[in-house]
A and B are shown apart, each in its own frame.
Chain A
């Protein structure tokens, strides 16, 4: 930790949050808000005189509220930066009539009530997302009585209590009477592996964390009875099974079954009712103290950052990697990497391993000092351009400029163009060519697909990042769906031109699907808004000329939604079956007259 604070190449911004990310791989522009600390970080020596005189006493977050701190404080003794800070919401204020005692005692004059939040712009080539986790709050699991019963703790509270620098100086006591407990129970999978409360996933570390805790108790208090209630003990890592065996040998009892209820007895002890699945009997255990092994959830900032950077999340809310096995630390967006629990629950060793891997992936990208970009960009065919300005309006990257007044043709800045193809799809004059996804190339695929027995086929367009990846995920999960679905890959659903859809219907396609990332998750900022508008426009036209609008479907399917993809395809097949040969013939007839 201290190495980070003093490394000449590391600029540490604490109390800071990323609020905006612009740009692309190699050239990101990041806006950061650094909140006011009200204590000069560079000159504070952490002498602590200020906290001594501060009259405001508040629960200490670092010790899970089991200790106290002042309104001016250092989060914990080894904090980096070691400087104190003031919580402005708690401080009585700098009006001398009210307080400002800290200012008076600070010999170096570090305290400045006029400090304000700072906006910092950083230009970087790569980004590593290591936003961590949030421990599950078990208050909603009323059956375990957390917050109702004083002697029910979470694993993090237990952790602070047995820590030598914690609120009890490492002494294990019951919060209700401050006596040493004679028996301690642990309940596993609190907020993990549950369909009802918390999350479906296994939080990976709680089994071993509890094994470790039993060890600590048995080492310090050999006579304390320790019982662990569990579904499975997952001791899969190196050295894990050995520790588990040693814990049992030291006398910790492992009881297979999660308690159904906990009630408080006289003296604030706890009675746990559990069906022991090894014996099949209902058992009651009286314990002085209970520890809930809380699971891991995504950090609260996960979703906000996901939106800012256009990343993807898995169904449990952690970040989705580019490939679960072969690119486990890469985001789908080039130049962004994941480390630690941001990507999924993991222990310290795995977090460190992944962090080193992410650092190495970033170095691999940066070491040359230059970067090659995909030539999948749009090109203006100037002789066809009517300078209407539509392309500039739809471009999410402001990569196109058009001089509408002077009727000068559009110009594409190919460095800024990300290649979604929305401009090409929206241009009514066919004046924009989308490299590698040209009209001719895509229409060629449509024609070829519907060459034989078009009435039996489903034509589907899928964006590369979400829907096509979702289809791949359905494959990896071996989810079966009708074999008449044929996907055409485009970089973004924004590329799906009206004429591709009309061509499909003209050639006898019974149904057409356009699929892309969910609104808000578009890989090209908001290009899929234009997809939505376009499909609505086509639906209106279909209605006007007597085509059933439902024959064109729009679905948002993310990279993690393999199940949804398969389900959508089954639905498309049902829809296809509702389209008769006569209806198709009529459609073809109608379209040929237009």
Chain B
């Protein structure tokens, strides 16, 4: 198994980082509580930040297009997206920067929605201050990020289905009919589950077995 390479980004070698910062409004989800424009302006003055903008929907097609164009035009080598939780859109933005040749790990997200605007709705000033700090934290993190390469591993094309009720049966049949081997484990002596005990089923009043 090869270890992930830690080689420095080829294109920019040992040069100073070139950071792009994008502060997403998420429509009004973030913008009604956080002054996104102020946050973006503040970030523009930070060392290494080449582009800093507020943007209505970073995840939308036009939003992504704009960021990608900026990466190409300004030779950005890492990006901060200040928007929703990375648990929601990290994959989206990783793909986005990957598509213009950046290593997908050269990204950090500042969580301005789930962990800022939505939880400090009645305090615009302090929410904005927090957003500024979160973005600054992201910038300092992204500055030190290094490209990483994913490993490819073999995979067993077989599924274990635990439970032989209607859901387990359906899943097992769909998989098996698609050509995958399935092991179906059922605790009781027969498959069928609760549904097998029912008489007629709503709304069409047909038999359950």
- A residues near B (Cβ < 8 Å) are 1, 3-5, 7-18, 25-28, 30, 32, 37, 62, 64, 74-76, 78-81, 85, 122-133, 135, 156, 159-160, 162-164, 166, 170, 208-209, 211-212, 215-216, 237-240, 242-243, 299, 301, 305, 323, 326, 339-342, 347-348, 351-352, 354-356, 358-360, 362-363, 365-377, 379, 412-415, 435-436, 438, 440-442, 444-445, 447-449, 451-452, 457, 464, 468-469, 471-472, 474-476, 478-481, 483-484, 486-489, 566
Contact = CB atoms under 8 A, between A and B. Distances in A.
A16 B186 contact: yes
A236 B4 CA distance: 51
Interface residues of B, number: 96
Contacts of A215: 205
A11 B3 CA distance: 37
B140 to A, nearest CB: 4
B119 A37 contact: no
Interface string B64-102: 000000000000000000000111100000000000000
B88 A323 contact: yes
Contact of B119 (A25, A135, A323, A566): A566
Given A4-B164, A16-B186, A484-B126, A359 B178 contact: yes
B168 A475 contact: no
A3 B166 CA distance: 12
A486 B157 CA distance: 42
A367 B111 CA distance: 34
A435 B162 contact: no
Given A131-B163, A375-B105, A415-B153, 15 more contacts: A7-B173, A10-B172, A16-B185, A80-B190, A80-B192, A124-B183, A126-B158, A163-B199, A339-B161, A355-B166, A355-B174, A356-B174, A472-B114, A480-B122, A483-B129
- Describe B's contact surface by its main secondary structure: mixed
B173 A4 contact: yes
B163 A130 contact: yes
B188 interface: yes
A348 B161 contact: no
Contacts of B113: 475
B197 A208 contact: no
Contacts of B149: 375
A352 B170 contact: yes
Contact of A375 (B130, B151, B200): B151
A11 B127 contact: no
Contacts of B208: 348
B144 A4 contact: no
B170 A355 contact: yes
Contacts of A242: 203
B167 A415 contact: no
Contact of B159 (A16, A62, A127, A159): A127
A501 to B, nearest CB: 16
A59 to B, nearest CB: 15
Nearest to A160: B197
Nearest to B154: A370
A352 B162 contact: no
Contacts of A373: 150-153
A371 B183 contact: no
A398 to B, nearest CB: 15
A63 to B, nearest CB: 8
Interface stretch (B13-21, B51-59, B131-139): B131-139
26 contacts: A12-B191, A13-B184, A14-B188, A15-B187, A16-B187, A18-B162, A79-B192, A125-B155, A130-B167, A166-B199, A208-B203, A243-B203, A339-B171, A340-B166, A342-B163, A347-B202, A359-B178, A372-B153, A379-B3, A440-B144, A441-B145, A445-B141, A478-B119, A483-B127, A483-B130, A484-B126
A479 B158 CA distance: 42
A321 B121 CA distance: 27
B156 interface: yes
Given A9-B181, A374-B150, A366 B171 contact: no
Contact of B194 (A133, A464, A479): A133
B35 to A, nearest CB: 13
B137 A305 contact: no
Contacts of A208: 202-203
B131 to A, nearest CB: 9
A492 to B, nearest CB: 15
A216 to B, nearest CB: 6
B158 A1 contact: no
A442 B108 CA distance: 12
Contacts of A488: 137
Complex A-B, nearest 10 residue pairs according to Cβ-Cβ distance, in ascending order: A340-B167, A475-B114, A26-B155, A375-B4, A130-B168, A79-B190, A355-B170, A359-B174, A239-B203, A130-B163
Contacts of A7: 172-173, 176-177, 182
Contacts of A445: 137-138, 140-141
A14 B190 CA distance: 6
A479 B140 CA distance: 29
Contacts of A8: 176
Nearest to B187: A17
Given A80-B192, A238-B203, A488-B137, A30 B160 contact: yes
B175 A414 contact: no
Contact of B189 (A14, A78, A451): A14
Nearest to B155: A26
Given A348-B201, A445-B137, A472-B87, A356 B183 contact: no
B23 to A, nearest CB: 16
Contacts of B183: 10-11, 13, 32, 122, 124
A355 B121 CA distance: 39
B190 A481 contact: no
A339 B168 contact: yes
A488 B136 CA distance: 12
